[in-house]
């Protein structure tokens, strides 16, 4: 995004790229959308892409590649062991993070598997600013328990706090005091904290966490999957960092961590993952698991073409014109919706625009999944596919009780360089319509409920015939418009 002033004084995000490859989209009509959401068991993960107009499910593996990334894919060195492509990726990771040891994996959760198997034991505690779904599952699978220490404001939907992803240092200290440092497997910080609305932590906060880790002899692990947005927010919101380049901030941040892992489906705009560290002892232990679960040490489950794309993608992530694209589009959507009275997470974060379903549909009880119901309703009203990030995304306790999520969010992800502003405006228009008709939306109930990560492939049905009523209102207001 260029820093360009418009005559009208409006804040209009301006793309610093041109589109040279396009993919045709279709917008199925209302009748087909009603059928499709039923076929998908009211779970947007189960919709077929041919039925989706704007896919705002995730930014994972669906960011647009650049011409440089595509070009690099053509020169990939396809060898099982010792590939030049791997060396280029390893060198890029070393250059960007200043860490000398690197392990490739096929995606982010694979890093979590390797790290958890290496460091988590039955009874271990893992303090973190906030959990991510796959992270928590891997820690639990290894007998450990996640304890969150997010600042209180992190869980307040609307706020002016620029760093809602910060760790509360007092909470971290009391977790360590309560359980004892020897029970703690590691401390985890998540950049661009996903489940609370893509909210960043500050460099200052990370330094404070490092300090506590040093005092207690603990390892600090950074989940850098959403680091790009977090870097942008550090640069634009943290006074002391405004004169630092993105590269300088990244190196400083990395120097505070013992292990950094990332999903290259997000960071790097391709598909893959990796773990880096300067800690040889932990590296050697983690390395043993790579050939077992991922592949040989010079590809780790990734295709060489993807590795070339990640190498260039990581480099582009250090470009200030590139990393502000997601956050400025998200800020536009959040601001426009706020102006129209739609409850959204503020300040705008990274990853996507997050709608507060707890308030949007405050008549739906949490055990009827307000955010899931809103995701189904938005699909019916627009063909836009979002993702439930609330109670459905939680897992039942061993005794079968259901933990209610702190937040009920409908996430509308903004994959980088993918959507145009008019597409974003269409999504805003239909969300505003849905908000005006919100009382028509009711809850969902399970038809099939998987035990682990149920939100991925569980199936639900509406608690009443509310979807037909919503569709009738749509026909009344929009006639034969799609």
SS3 142: coil
Interface pattern 309-348 for ligand F0G (x via CB under 6 A)? ----------------------------------------
Residues 59-98 that bind ligand F0G (CB under 6 A): 60
Q: How many CB atoms lie within 10 A of CB 94?
A: 14
| Shortest CB 275 distance to ligand F0G, Å | 12
Phi and psi at 221, nearest 5°, equal: -110, 130
Would you report the helix, strand and coil content of the chain in percent, each value rounded to 5? 45, 15, 40
Tokens 């919503």 found at: 470
Which residue's CB is nearer to ligand F0G, number 356 or number 467? 356
From the list 86, 97, 132, 332, which residue makes contact with ligand F0G (rule: CB under 6 A)? 132
Residue where the block lists tokens 């869980």: 155
Question: Smallest distance, Å, CB 433 to ligand F0G?
Answer: 26
Binding mask 187-216 for ligand F0G (x = CB under 6 A): ---x---x----------------------
Numbers of helices and strands, H then E, in the chain = 18, 14
Shortest distance, position 3 Cβ to ligand F0G, whole Å: 29
**Is 109 a residue that touches ligand F0G (CB under 6 A)?**
yes
Interface with ligand F0G in residues 344-403 (CB under 6 A): none
The answer to whether 223 contacts ligand F0G (rule: CB under 6 A) is yes
Structure tokens at 17: 């790229």
Residue the block writes with tokens 């309560």? 178
Does residue 43 bind ligand F0G (CB under 6 A)?
no
Q: How far apart are CA 166 and CA 200, in angstroms?
A: 7
| Residues in the chain, total | 482
Q: Pick from 265, 385, 416, 417 the residue near ligand F0G by CB under 6 A.
A: 265
Q: Which of 44, 63, 263, 382 binds ligand F0G (CB under 6 A)?
A: 263
CB nearer ligand F0G, residue 131 or residue 438: 131
CB within 8 A of 7, min separation 6: which ones?
none
Query: Which CB sits closer to ligand F0G, 109 or 454?
Result: 109
Q: What are phi and psi of 465, to 5 degrees?
A: -90, 35
CA distance 216 to 183: 11
- Nearest alpha carbon to residue 250 among 229, 271, 265: 229
In the complex, residue closest to ligand F0G by CB: 108
Stretch touching ligand F0G by CB under 6 A, among 120-128, 220-228, 420-428, 469-477:
220-228
Peptide bond preceding 347: is omega within 30 degrees of 0, i.e. cis?
Answer: yes
Q: How far is the CB of 388 from ligand F0G (least distance, A)?
A: 11
**Active-site residue numbers?**
80, 132-133, 223, 266, 389, 455
CA atoms within 13 A on the CB side of 477: 15
| Contacts with ligand F0G, residue ranges (CB under 6 A) | 58, 60, 107-109, 132, 134, 190, 194, 223, 225-226, 263, 265, 273
């Amino acid at each position: 995004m260029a820093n360009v002033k418009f005559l009208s004084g409006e804040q209009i995000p301006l793309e610093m790229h041109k589109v040279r490859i396009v993919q045709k989209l279709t917008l199925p009509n209302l009748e087909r959308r009603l059928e499709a959401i039923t076929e998908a068991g009211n779970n947007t993960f189960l919709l077929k892409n041919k039925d989706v107009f704007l896919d705002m499910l995730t930014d994972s593996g669906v960011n647009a590649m650049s011409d440089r990334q595509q070009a690099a894919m053509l020169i990939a060195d396809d060898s099982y062991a010792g590939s030049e492509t791997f060396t280029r990726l390893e060198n890029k990771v070393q250059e960007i993070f200043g860490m000398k040891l690197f392990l490739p994996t096929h995606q982010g959760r694979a890093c979590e598997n390797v790290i958890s198997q290496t460091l988590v034991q039955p009874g271990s505690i893992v303090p973190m600013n906030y959990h991510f779904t796959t992270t928590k599952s891997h820690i639990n699978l290894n007998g450990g328990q996640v304890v969150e220490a997010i600042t209180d404001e992190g869980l307040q939907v609307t706020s002016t706090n620029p760093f809602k992803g910060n760790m509360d240092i007092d909470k971290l200290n009391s977790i360590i005091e309560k359980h004892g440092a020897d029970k703690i497997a590691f401390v985890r910080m998540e950049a661009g904290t996903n489940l609370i609305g893509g909210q960043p932590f500050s460099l200052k906060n990370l330094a404070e966490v490092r300090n506590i880790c040093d005092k207690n002899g603990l390892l600090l692990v950074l989940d850098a999957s959403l680091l790009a947005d977090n870097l942008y927010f550090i640069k634009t919101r943290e006074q002391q960092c405004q004169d630092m380049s993105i590269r300088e901030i990244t190196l400083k941040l990395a120097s505070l961590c013992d292990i950094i892992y990332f999903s290259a489906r997000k960071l790097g705009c391709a598909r893959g993952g990796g773990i880096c560290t300067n800690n040889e002892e932990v590296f050697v232990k983690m390395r043993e698991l790579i050939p077992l679960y991922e592949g040989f040490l010079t590809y780790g489950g990734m295709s060489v073409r993807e590795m070339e794309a990640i190498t260039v993608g990581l480099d582009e992530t250090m470009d200030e014109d590139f990393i502000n694209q997601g956050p400025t589009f998200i800020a536009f959507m959040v601001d426009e919706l706020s102006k129209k009275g739609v409850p959204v997470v503020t300040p705008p974060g990274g990853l996507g625009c997050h709608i507060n379903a707890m308030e949007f549909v405050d008549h739906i009880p949490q055990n009827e999944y307000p955010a899931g119901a809103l995701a189904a309703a938005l699909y019916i009203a627009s063909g836009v596919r979002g993702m439930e990030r609330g109670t459905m995304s939680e897992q039942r306790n061993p005794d079968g009780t259901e933990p209610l999520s702190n937040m009920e969010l409908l996430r509308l992800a903004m994959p980088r360089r993918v959507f145009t502003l008019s597409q974003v405006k269409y999504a805003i228009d239909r969300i505003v319509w849905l908000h005006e008709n919100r009382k028509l939306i009711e809850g969902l109930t399970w038809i099939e409920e998987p035990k682990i990560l149920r939100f991925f492939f569980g199936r639900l049905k509406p608690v009443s015939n509310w979807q037909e009523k919503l569709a009738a209102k749509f026909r009344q207001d929009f006639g034969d418009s799609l």
